[in-house]
Chains A and B, each alone.
Chain A
């Protein structure tokens, strides 16, 4: 079975500081990995995804993530936080044999201090 663990339910950074949100996954087959963002009272929006190929994936709003198979990780980073980045972030995993099902982590709420 696949699973996702997000380390830290709440992360707080200062505006302009590095954002690092941690995600580790478990999968017996090559995974598809995703990061979604949810702003208050809204649905989920795809930030970026990894399926195959280049392990460093760039997404929207300056975010990127690196797939590290040896560490079973897919951490999300952004060099400089902006106030508008405050939201909840979800890491998710799927694979070709999961019928399209996405398995989500518990979520990490990002706060950005002025």
Chain B
């Protein structure tokens, strides 16, 4: 099925460990995003990539890095995980057309840092 694929779905890390969350889309969208979801705070933008070759910080970028590997793939890296990064992470892609913004979300990665 067309859409946004995130891996892994679940992960437990120890404080200080590193990991990369993977995201791939097959809709030929130009823009891709990483959000984190925490109870009572909605979704907050971590980083985004408006087009292949560009990345920009969002609202909560500290402790994260991203790579737009190609048009399809946008990865999120935690270099030294902290308990505050326990969250559900969503990747999304979008295209802006005459009708406005069309977003597609992945199913999420549930990360626990102990």
Give the interface of A toward B (CB within 8 A): 4, 6, 9, 32, 34, 42-46, 49, 51-52, 90, 94, 96, 99-107
> What is the CA–CA distance of A105 and B105 in the complex, to the nearest angstrom?
16
Looking at the complex, which one of A43, A96, A103 makes contact with B107 (CB distance below 8 Å)? Answer: A43
Looking at the complex, which one of A51, A52, A101 makes contact with B33 (CB distance below 8 Å)? Answer: A101
- Chain A residues positioned under 8 Å from B101 (CB to CB): 32, 34, 49, 51, 94, 100, 102
> What is the CA–CA distance of A72 and B82 in the complex, to the nearest angstrom?
38
A107 touches B31 (CB 8 A): no
Decide yes or no whether B96 CB sits under 8 A from chain A.
yes
CB closest chain-A residue, reference B59: A103
- Chain B residues positioned under 8 Å from A4 (CB to CB): 42
A49 touches B40 (CB 8 A): no
A43 touches B108 (CB 8 A): yes
Q: A32-B100, A99-B50 are in contact. Are A104 and B44 (CB under 8 A)?
A: yes
> What is the CA–CA distance of A43 and B100 in the complex, to the nearest angstrom?
21
> What is the CA–CA distance of A96 and B100 in the complex, to the nearest angstrom?
8
Looking at the complex, which one of A32, A44, A51, A52 makes contact with B105 (CB distance below 8 Å)? Answer: A44
- Chain B residues positioned under 8 Å from A99 (CB to CB): 31, 48, 50, 56
| Chain A proximity mask over B70-104: 1 for CB below 8 Å, otherwise 0 | 00000000000000000000101010100111010
Decide yes or no whether B61 CB sits under 8 A from chain A.
no
Decide yes or no whether B12 CB sits under 8 A from chain A.
no
> What is the CA–CA distance of A9 and B38 in the complex, to the nearest angstrom?
13
> What is the CA–CA distance of A46 and B3 in the complex, to the nearest angstrom?
14
B42 touches A101 (CB 8 A): no
A101 touches B107 (CB 8 A): no
